Amino acid sequence: MDLRQLSALVAIADHGSFSAAARALFTVQSNVSAHISRLESELGVTLVERSNGSLTDAGALVVDRARRVLREVDDITAELAAPGSEVSGETRIGVIGTTARWLMPQLLTRLGTAYPDVHPIVFEGSTSALVPRLLGGQIDGALVHLPVDEPELQVEPLFAEDMLLVVPASHHLADRDQVPLRALAGEPLLLPPRSAVLRQMIDRAATAVGVTLHPQAEIDGVRLLASLAFEGFGAAIVPATATPAWLRGEFHRVAVPELPRRVVGWVQRRRPIPGPATRATLEVVRDLIAEVGPEMSGVQTRADLLTRPRT
């Protein structure tokens, strides 16, 4: 087994066929076929269906490990080839949508200035989608909604944000600046699915004050939740960064003091240790949140506020 064989398998997984993989690797199709055949012979399994270029179950298992091996080799090369502060290489970062909207434009700008040889690849998704990709080695780090209870992951809380009720201008609560959570007991609400960490947090807060919230619809996606409220479809419970202060429209933000803050943090695998490009990215993320976070409405960066609900 060698790196050329693993690279060929990953290229087929990424590009869908032997011919496309050959083009991506700047070689000919016969070389890709030869690498895969040797790897299959060594492992004693079929990795790729020759009829359509799709991976077998065994191929999918091997390609996940192959990605990790190739990423480790890249990190070794970057670590040894970057003297002093000259950090280079690729970093694959996951981020939840509401955080991506305000953080990514500034992060990419600062990262490009501080570390011009670092090449970021950004993936947007929900926490439930990003954590498995991180555990599988497909991304190097992620900004997600905490808590994340995975022993293989290292977790660092970065900021907390208030949870708000967003209502269309025509809603009967649109003239209120604050309502108690009990007042929402009979309201049809746009809420995350029951499986979402955010929904579980909301439901625990409701149970604590003796009410049950009733979903008008369950929406998997915080930005979509907010957008539906903006468009007049209903009232939604969302984090503060889903409705930034600069956003204007026919809607109103209503505080609900009993709702706990949502905590967003950085997660990465404990082993292998992230490469220099990913470590540099985290450094810029920390600095940016410490500087910009306190200026954002509803966002808290003080350490004592990251682990306890509002009172």
CATH assignment of 85-160+263-305? 3.40.190.10
Spans of all domains in the chain? 3-79, 85-160+263-305, 163-260
Place of tokens 């179950």: 57
Residue 1: per-residue pLDDT: 85
Residue 81: per-residue pLDDT: 56
CA distances from 58 to 2, 55, 64, 70 (A): 18, 8, 10, 18
Give the separation between CA 14 and CA 20, rounded to whole angstroms: 9
Mean pLDDT, each 10-residue run in order, the chain (311 residues): 91 92 91 93 93 91 87 70 70 94 94 94 92 90 93 94 95 95 95 92 95 94 92 95 84 95 94 87 95 89 59 36
Give the separation between CA 133 and CA 131, rounded to whole angstroms: 5
- 3-79 has CATH 3.30.70.260 classification: no
Residue 247: per-residue pLDDT: 80
Residue 80: per-residue pLDDT: 65
Backbone angles phi, psi at 226, to 5 degrees: -65, -40
Instruction: Record the tokens describing residue 92, joined without a space.
Output: 């694959």
CA distances from 153 to 97, 130, 140, 145, 264 (A): 21, 12, 11, 14, 15
CATH assignment of 163-260? 3.40.190.290
Under a CB-based contact definition with an 8 Å cutoff, are residues 252 and 163 in contact?
no
Same fold, 3-79 and 163-260: no
Residue 65: per-residue pLDDT: 87
- Please name which of 287, 272, 282 lies closest in space to residue 91, comparing C-alpha atoms: 282
pTM, rounded to two decimals: 0.75
